[in-house]
Amino acid sequence: MKLAVPDMISNSYFPAEAAIELGFFKAEGLDVTLELIFPVDKAYAALRDGAVDFVGGSAHSALAAFPNFRGVKLVCAQAQGMYWFLVMHAALNARRGDVSVVKGRRIAAAPWVDKGLRGLLEEAGIDVERDGVTIAPVPGAAGAGVNFGITAAKALEERTIDGFWANGMSAEVAVRRGVGTVVLDVRRGDGPKRCFNFTAATIAATDALIARARDKVAATVRAIVKTQAALKANVARASEVGERLFPPSEAALIAELIRRDLPYYDATLSPEFVAGMCEFARRQGLLAGQLSYEDVVAAQFAPLWQG
């Protein structure tokens, strides 16, 4: 089986990566390989087309390939909350929580990841057109195997952008290099409160796979839950994964980033999250009409979320 993630050298989808590298899928009787497919809309297109079996990506981005969530379900969360950071160039002397710093600036964000930033800015009273905010991918970050976040950190250092909205690894790299300042970390309380539920890192599968191989989907959920528990018990195991998948400099950082994320390691997909995500998606023009919880989530796997 194949599991696609849109971002590998980061903490964003680490439980999915670690479930493979630490043997938790194998222990459930599954042979799962990891596929890097960027950007996230292409990962979901691969799921729709049957090229992969699961996507470990941002929940709202399933709408890129499955309008109104028809044909796809979220089966568990990798972690709770919208997980991207707004980082601005250090020379701007931005203050933590001051969203107005984006006015007149060039902000890098990957396709579909940018929806989270646009929604957040709207919620905070920033009008992208009126306030002259340019949100676009980093030039050169679309090639196969290119890591958007690390490329964004490099672009910030070279001052070809004023800021970026990307993963925790890129934020950490930019801060440690002295070129970036974290302005917003939504998971930990920055920005408008309801932005927390705009999206989350989840595992998605097609309705067809759930119907055809329910036991394998259940085994996937169990593997993610056991991986979360293993990292909570011994976060140093994150380094084992980083050493196999990341360049040495990023591998050295991953255990600390995962330690910070552990409070959000919960596989639950709550009704509050689904309602918040769907409202955000409607406001961004990604979703038409009202959906029930069961339209979005494979609730039959809920008993597995707590182990």
- Does the pLDDT value for residue 69 go beyond 80? yes
Of 34, 69, 50, whose CA–CA distance to 281 is shortest? 69
For the segment 101-124, what is each residue's pLDDT rounded down to a tens digit?
Answer: 999 999 999 999 999 999 999 999
How are strands ordered across the β-sheet holding 33-36? 33-36, 2-5, 54-58, 201-206, 72-77
| Structural domains present in the chain | 2-81+199-304 (3.40.190.10), 85-196 (3.40.190.10)
Rounded to two decimals, the pTM is: 0.96
CA-to-CA distance for 212 and 299, rounded, in angstroms? 16
Joined together, the tokens standing for residue 204 give 């998605």
Which residues contact residue 183 at a Cβ distance below 8 angstroms, ignoring those fewer than 6 apart? 86, 87, 88, 94, 95, 96, 97, 98, 99, 101, 163, 190
Sole residue written with tokens 């990292």: 231
CA-to-CA distance for 81 and 3, rounded, in angstroms? 21
Mean pLDDT, range 146-163, rounded to an integer = 87
CA-to-CA distance for 297 and 293, rounded, in angstroms? 6
142: pLDDT confidence band, cut at 50, 70 and 90? low
For the segment 253-291, what is each residue's pLDDT rounded down to a tens digit?
Answer: 999 999 999 999 999 999 999 999 999 999 999 999 999
